[in-house]
Structure 1
Amino acid sequence: MATIAVIGANGTIGRRVVSEALSRGHQVTAVVRNPAGYTPPSPDVTVVAGDVLDPEDVARVAAGQDVLVSAVGGGGGNGEGHAALIEPAARALVEGLRTLGGAAPRLIAVGGAGSLETAPGVRVWDAPGLPDWLLRTMHAHGDAQEYYNTVADVRWTVLSPAATIEPGERTGGYRTGTEQLVTDAEGASYITTEDYAAALVDEIETPRFTGRRFTVAR
């Protein structure tokens, strides 16, 4: 059993990560900005307040945990408001964990698909016709990824989703990649939030991508 704190536990992805981790017997702390407005899926979940943009808050909620999951900035609605916090959140997460030194938990952050390659030198965000709000979110995740790539003193992993991620069935099946978008035989790239959460908790239980980014799709 691992102790896992999930920042952004009230979001679309965060809720699935909390439920998936609970279903496997892990001890979960849900970190949200407003605990009064959050109903955990089980009384076994500890709920605390925390601000992902405050390194002191990050250090406080991370202390004593095995893993810190950041599900902040995963999107929602039309993405407005998310892009501006993605890269600053990455910096605050690392800064906060650094203050814990060797006692810092491993960090697993929800990433974006925009910077994944679809062909040599071509990325998802290069596709024509993408709306401005989506491009802003994609590039913000790309900036955060560039920052994480410079970090060597904190154990981190970024999990990028498929090109399309939405609530659906949990199958527990998925394929992994690293810097290239994972697609099926028809060229589609898809994952449910439930299978994404399963992949994230799988990485908690059996680390394979420490210090790097990986991606999943069905």
Structure 2
Amino acid sequence: MFGAGGTAGSRIVIEAFNRGHRVVAAVRRPEADAPYLPAGVQVVTGDATSERSVRELAPAADALVVAVGGGDRSLWPDAARTLLDALQGMPAAPRVIHVGGGATLLTPAGTRLLDEPDFPEEYRDAALGQAAALDVYRSGADGVTWTYVCPPPLEFRPGQRTGRYRTGTDQPVTDAQGRSVLSYEDLAVAVVDEIEDPHFQNMRFTAAY
């Protein structure tokens, strides 16, 4: 699990650990991030943009989850390329589960939400980086199984774990009021569900209530 100390990553670690999975949490600063993770989770120094880190973790993993953040927009496509380069040709390579950006989802007209004129400017740089990562998976994942997970584009925040959600593929999942909402905790449920019972291999999916 790369990005295990982050808001999304830490919740995915907790969800997987509580279900009985062996979890290795790869973080850049173990001394800072380890105290926030459950006792029993193995914490290692790791970087999703380092082929060495990927190759060290991959042989013992069924899935490599990537939920990294921070830095400039190059982080996400760099991580995607690193994972694919490191895993291609590896015997029994693990799946890649990339927690991506909801702004890459499409409007009813087929345009990306991040390209809409009213999309918040403060989120645009990260959204473009996540869109570039999705393009990397779609164009260069020969021999590697991947899943790109989109949270809702805007209403996505820490909250409660309800264990329920609905899924979609290219457009946001909305409720009766047209809102697309999900907690980080229930995104973690959706991610671990997909690891345990794959439905979206070599494609993206989104989840919301």
| TM-score, structure 2 as length reference | 0.93
In the alignment, what sits opposite 2:60? 64
Question: Which runs of structure 1 show a deviation greater than 6 angstroms over 4 or more consecutive aligned residues?
Answer: none
Q: Structure 1, residues 80-118: CA drift from partner, whole Å, max 9, x if none?
A: 62523111111011112225x122111101011112112
Identify unmatched segments of 5+ residues in structure 2. none
Structure whose residues are more often strand by fraction: 1
1:118 aligns with 2:110: no
* Mapped contact 1:152–1:211 kept (Cα < 8 A): no
Q: Write the distance in 1 (CA, Å) between the matches of 2:108 and 2:32.
A: 43
In the alignment, what sits opposite 2:196? 205
In the alignment, what sits opposite 2:152? 162
Deviation of the 1:143 alpha carbon = 1.0
Picking from 125, 129, 133, the partner of 1:144 is 133
Q: Write the distance in 1 (CA, Å) between the matches of 2:47 and 2:37.
A: 21
In the alignment, what sits opposite 2:31? 36
CA RMSD of aligned residues (A): 1.4
Q: Secondary structure in 1 aligned to 2:38?
A: coil
Q: Secondary structure in 2 aligned to 1:148?
A: helix
* Mapped contact 2:113–2:119 kept (Cα < 8 A): no
* Mapped contact 1:57–1:96 kept (Cα < 8 A): no
Q: Structure 1, residues 159-210: CA drift from partner, whole Å, max 9, x if none?
A: 0101221000111111101111111111111110000000000001101111
Q: Structure 1, residues 104-158: CA drift from partner, whole Å, max 9, x if none?
A: 1111010111121121223211333334331111111111111101213101111
Amino acid at match of 2:131: G
Amino acid at match of 1:56: R
Q: Write the distance in 1 (CA, Å) between the matches of 2:72 and 2:187.
A: 19
Picking from 69, 75, 85, the partner of 2:75 is 85
Percentage identity across paired residues of the two chains: 44
In the alignment, what sits opposite 2:118? 129
**Aligned residue pair count:** 206
In the alignment, what sits opposite 1:190? 181
1:27 aligns with 2:22: yes
Q: Write the distance in 1 (CA, Å) between the matches of 2:38 and 2:125.
A: 35
In the alignment, what sits opposite 1:108? 97
Deviation of the 1:214 alpha carbon = 0.5
* Mapped contact 2:88–2:142 kept (Cα < 8 A): no
Structure whose residues are more often helix by fraction: 2
Amino acid at match of 2:129: A
Of 40-49 and 128-137, more deviation after overlay is shown by 128-137
* Mapped contact 1:40–1:47 kept (Cα < 8 A): no
* Mapped contact 2:72–2:125 kept (Cα < 8 A): no
Q: Write the distance in 2 (CA, Å) between the matches of 1:133 and 1:160.
A: 18
Picking from 29, 35, 41, the partner of 1:45 is 41
| TM-score, structure 1 as length reference | 0.89
Q: Write the distance in 1 (CA, Å) between the matches of 2:17 and 2:88.
A: 27
* Mapped contact 1:98–1:153 kept (Cα < 8 A): yes
Amino acid at match of 2:200: F
